[in-house]
Structure 1
């Protein structure tokens, strides 16, 4: 045997012994699992495209032909992505236009506005044959579905509707946040003010016009200036196992907006105790407190309506209209339902939808989780005008939701 062969055998034996020794060491002291770097909160790979099939669903010429707001839940309370498949989706709107648009595209006389309405879509496809719109009539006159009737309600107040959820812990009752609004008639671009916050409760599986609805004053901001204190209901995340959450903790997270900077506040409560306001807790920047004055905002530059959806990678997508009335649909990524949230990521430029008139503006973008695919966000935004009652005659279909799809690249 030459020296080279002997050297190779010795080296191989040493290597084999070392491997056995390492294996023995591994058996007695397992190596720690590899720790992954946290995902970025400031960037994500995505593609955006318009969703004309969803926009067309709300482009109508008779009866309901426009509305803003737009929130959606499933009848059974499932809130996970694509939960609407094989289910019934309840969709509600705030200010709603009723009337007829002629073949020339102009609004016929006799149109009117009511303050809220509802639609029911069967399944998850934007099929005009599977959606119906509802609002009540009384004495031959069209009426709003929801009108304030609480102890705190003042004269001539009406509702704009916030987000809501089907409460599986309370007989599948539908809880919708209502903002009590009063017109100011002051000639300003926004001649109204918010007076208070309400919970509107619809019994499980009830049908329009919801004659058995209940209304409950939310006490936190009663008697205070809403502009400075804010209100809740801008968006909701139902983080329960029953709702289909990926990382459930048993709470419903209720988002609110405060101040001119559109800052985000967060409250949470177990669904079974939604009506017991002593059980609500508020995020103070470090944890949860029952002391409302200690609440702290967690991010800003949002809109009065928004949506939150958990992505497949675990991050939370907070979707909104940047700066309230800005031209971009914005996204902030969070590591939890309360953040921290990253910088604004611009998903879509709405400029083309408001190009017909200098008074048009987009607002209140949000993601509709129950109509979205697991890593594809279906997002709506609304279009309005600073000269609404003149512009709606010439552009009667301006006042309706538009939709885009944002695909998160894995």
Structure 2
């Protein structure tokens, strides 16, 4: 069945996103930035206190249980839109129905990207196609599909811009696929209709989809060079908020270059999806730890510059679902791609999401609809005493 085949590919990508070895390393900070110990964000020793099942986890779970739209997915980026709306952005997505016993029928629709729009306690699923025949928001190419990444608004909030990674099949087998290139999917922020799908830089084997962060006159673009066994953060930037309007520049470790191939490895051990946000007078990177195979560790790193170096890692949380000793008692359960939601930050309290999946998706994701849903954790960062 085509949906099952696509889903298996999604699970395989989640697994690869966690496999890594090595010790985190970093490059030098920007020449015009303060040094690695010259801001309080880095000078301070931070401790973390985590509270699971933070909002909107219960809301999304209850909505999923109705089986009337979205019933599970991964990626879990969020952007605030006009009219009091938040759009939750998902890659691989299951749609309803849900059986009374909490399982899903094998005929449940499966698509590679979707939105869930939240206004207060009201949720609505947005897909392509029709209610009778839902499809991905971005039509897949003939031999592949698109997964969504980081997003932001542009053009004074009129556009919702979502980085879309194109993957392609290379054969009939479960592992016969590869990343192909990077795109920007531009949606009308009111109607959420696709306006444009345009290519963005893809020449340096970097998936420029991990995070978008506005700082001053620039939008910083965080990508991952995914070598399977090792994953490295890279940083680019563009003047303004429109990733299509101005030339990109790439951090070389010493400055900025117009040559994408000059992009430097900034940090090893990041996940394919992570976040970089303002923290006090510096920056905070939140990521799943990919220096361990199928890790349960969510880490925070600190820097005085948006380009690193990233130092003083702090464990923010350990995901309780992971592995044979986890809450499902299932060795196939994995967790991955944790990141922050800065628009929902409250003082020193972060909202961190992560994804849950199974290496035996053909069995587990149909037997228990609760597995393939994002989890949300409130993490309070406090200065150590």
Q: TM-score range by the shorter chain?
A: 0.7 to 0.9
CA shift, 1:280, in A, is 1.0
Deviation at 1:396, TM superposition (A): 2.0
Find out whether 1:97 has 2:94 as its counterpart.
Answer: yes
Q: CA deviation at 1:273?
A: 5.1
- Preserved CA contact (<8 Å) 2:39 2:281: no
Q: Which protein shows a greater Rg?
A: 1
Q: State the match for 1:7 in structure 2.
A: none
d(CA) in 2 for partners of 1:37 and 1:135?
Answer: 44
Query: What is the rounded CA distance, in whole Å, between the counterparts of 2:262 and 2:382 in structure 1?
Result: 39
Aligned twin of 1:74: 80
Equivalent of 2:214 in 238, 247, 268: 238
Q: CA 1:54/1:251 → structure 2, altered by over 3 Å: closer, same or farther?
A: same
Alpha-carbon distance change, 321 to 186 in structure 1, aligned in 2, over 3 angstroms? farther
Would you tell me which structure has more strand in proportion to its own residues? 2
Q: Unpaired segments of 5 or more residues in structure 1?
A: 1-34, 77-85, 149-153, 240-248
Relative distance call for 1:259 and 1:102 in structure 2 (3 A) is closer
Alpha-carbon distance in structure 2 between the residues aligned to 1:378 and 1:293? 34
The aligned counterpart of 2:366 is: 393
* CA–CA separation in structure 2 for the residues paired with 1:194 and 1:288: 26
Are positions 1:266 and 2:250 aligned together?
no
> How many angstroms apart in 1 are the aligned matches of 2:139 and 2:352?
28
1:64 aligns with 2:70: yes
> 1:165 aligned to 2:132?
no
Paired residue for 2:5?
A: none
How much has 1:74 moved relative to structure 2? 1.1
Deviations 1:148-185, CA, capped at 9 Å, x for gaps: 5xxxxx5322110010110145x631111000012345
Normalized per residue, the structure richer in helix is 1
TM-superposition CA deviations, 1:202-245 (whole Å, max 9, x none): 13x3314x1x5201111442xx7xxxx22201111112xxxxxx
* Corresponding residue of 1:361: 334
Matched, 1:253 2:242: no
Deviation at 1:136, TM superposition (A): 3.0
Pair 1:207-2:175 in alignment: no
Higher relative contact order (CA 8 A, sep 6+): 2
Name the CA distance, whole Å, in 2 between partners of 1:273 and 1:112: 34
Normalising by structure 1, report the TM-score: 0.76
Looking at structure 1, the residues matched to 40 and 374 of structure 2 have their Cα atoms a distance apart, in angstroms, of: 35
1:314 paired residue number: 281
Alignment root-mean-square deviation, CA: 2.4
Which residues in structure 2 correspond to 1:374-393 (within 5 Å)? 374-393=347-366
Deviation of 1:140 after TM superposition, in Å, equals 2.7
Q: How many pairs were matched up?
A: 335
For 1:363 and 1:100, how far apart are their aligned partners in 2?
Answer: 26
Q: For residue 21 of structure 1, what is the aligned residue in structure 2?
A: none
Pairing partner for 1:403 from 373, 376, 383: 376
Q: Distance in 2 between matches of 1:263 and 1:328?
A: 17
Secondary structure of residue in 1 paired with 2:372: coil
Equivalent position of 2:345 in the other structure: 372
Contact 1:41 1:335 in 2 (8 A): no
Q: Would the alpha carbon gap of residues 64 and 272 (structure 1) be closer, same or farther in structure 2, given more than 3 Å must change?
A: closer
- The TM-score with structure 2 as length reference comes to 0.80
1:198 to 183, 199, 207: 183
Q: Report the 3-state secondary structure (helix = DSSP H, G, I; strand = E; otherwise coil) of the residue aligned with 1:389.
A: helix
The residue number in structure 2 matching 1:350 is: 319
Aligned structure 1 segments of 4 or more residues deviating by more than 4 angstroms: 35-39, 184-188
